[in-house]
Amino acid sequence: MIQTLRAQHALAHEGSPVRLSLKTRPEALDTGLTAAFTRALGYGIAEEVGLPPEAVASLTVDGPEWLSKTVSDVRVTWQPVPHAVRSDAVAEIMFLGAEGVPTGRYAGRLIAQRSGELGASVEADIHGARLQLLVPFDQRIEGTVRYSFDLTGREPAEAMKVLRLYQRILRGGSLRISVDGIDFGSGKLSTRGTDEDNAEVEKLLSYLTDLEIVQRYCESYFPAPLVYSGAERIDLRIARLLIEGRCVAYRSARTVTITLNGLDFPVLRTVLGPQPQCLRFGPPGFEVTVGGHTLDIGPVHLFHAHVTVDNGQQAIAALKAGRAADTKVVFRPQDGEHFRLYLADAPDGSRPLAPVPWLPRSPLRARSATSSRRTVPMTIHSEAGRRACAVDRLCHVGPSVGLRRRHRVPCGSGGRTPGRPARVARGRGRC
């Protein structure tokens, strides 16, 4: 049987009030049900809460004689009446540092503003994420927060805002809430995140930051792929460092294969000789593929200060015999190192060509590490450097470089010598 009560006039609640008294069996309430009941009754959250019969000790209805009764072992469903708010109402959460100085602000659309027996609540949509704050009236009690979000389908810039707010919540601390510029309440959140949680957030933020920089540089925007390989992650970081004017050891460039066209010049004999040479190759572009999307950051240079030739003597012999056309020559850096990469139109041409790490622990550490290196730029004087233009007429690079396609490139001096190579950390593509 369902009974629905409706007020007959505006003062019905005063002339003929109806009161409900509910007694529960705490031992029958699980943690989730207790928390939901507290949110609904204690803070006014418009959340439907259903109590199973075994959790209801008694339900007493006190009102007109025909309605008054006490029942037990019945299912009780609590459905608060939602309150409408202005569509343009703004909620803002402000994080506070030492002496109450603001350290972060996040504003969004107000969804609801309510109160209950224990405190007040604010619900807001911030950059597409749902934020629910419970602020107790007793300031000695810490507030609680519920934050739900989904990064699927978001571009990197938007996803970073959502994730940084989540990071703030994990770290805890003092905060202040305002609605339409009027203070709603303040409180303190305890630290919620474990070291592993914070490390995962840092790793994902680092990935999103790199992707946003590369997308903005290429003017190619798409939702951030949340599944990627370790190789894609490393290439993305390399692209970001190249855009910033850094020099990077390229993981796929251990050798460069050129094919001679048969012409013979003294500079080519020097390059093919037994002494290591400072050489630079100019492929047409550097592409990064992430989640099936390709980003091209433009022309780059392959460079190393100490390049040797695997079959230089055989190539010289072929030149002397006039049979060097279509002869393949393999170049590789000394000591098993990789060729270095730097952007052809680097924003700062005065930087020393010292490779920086691919994946530091955080973007901030990456910047401080590269700015504090002590490499001194030096000018190299070599025959290969002074005659770099002549080599372009004699060779082209084969596909072993691993960039885009078969192409002709100049071979010459990079003009600077790299410092001691930095240690390279491998990254994992799990998010």
Strand partners, 114: 121
Report the pLDDT value the prediction gives residue 1, as an integer from 0 to 100. Answer: 63
Q: Return left, alpha or beta for 127; rule: phi > 0 is left, psi -120 to 50 is alpha, else beta.
A: left
Q: What are the start-end ranges of the E strands in 237-299?
A: 248-249, 256-260, 277-281, 287-290, 293-296
> Which run of H or E residues covers position 340?
strand 340-343
pTM over 0.95: no
Report the pLDDT value the prediction gives residue 38, as an integer from 0 to 100. Answer: 87
> Which pair of structure tokens corresponds to residue 38?
């507290």
Report the pLDDT value the prediction gives residue 269, as an integer from 0 to 100. Answer: 92
Taking the C-alpha atoms of residue 315 and residue 27, their distance in angstroms, rounded to an integer, is: 87
Report the pLDDT value the prediction gives residue 424, as an integer from 0 to 100. Answer: 22
Neighbours of 384 (CB within 10 A): 23
pLDDT tens digits for the chain (431 residues)?
Answer: 666 778 888 888 788 888 888 888 888 888 888 888 888 888 888 888 888 999 889 999 998 888 888 988 888 888 777 676 777 899 999 999 888 899 999 999 999 888 888 998 999 999 889 999 888 888 788 778 888 999 999 999 999 999 999 999 898 888 888 999 998 888 788 888 888 999 999 999 999 999 999 999 999 999 999 999 999 999 999 999 999 988 899 888 899 999 999 999 899 999 999 999 999 888 778 899 999 999 999 999 988 999 999 999 999 999 999 999 999 999 999 999 999 988 888 765 566 666 666 654 433 332 222 222 222 222 222 223 322 322 332 333 333 333 433 333 333 333 333 332 222 222 222 22
Long-range Cβ contact pairs of 282-287 (< 8 A, separation 24 or more): 282/344, 282/409, 282/410, 283/397, 283/401, 283/403, 283/404, 283/407, 283/409, 284/403, 284/404, 284/405, 284/407, 285/403, 285/404, 286/239, 286/242, 286/341, 286/343, 286/403, 286/404, 287/403, 287/404
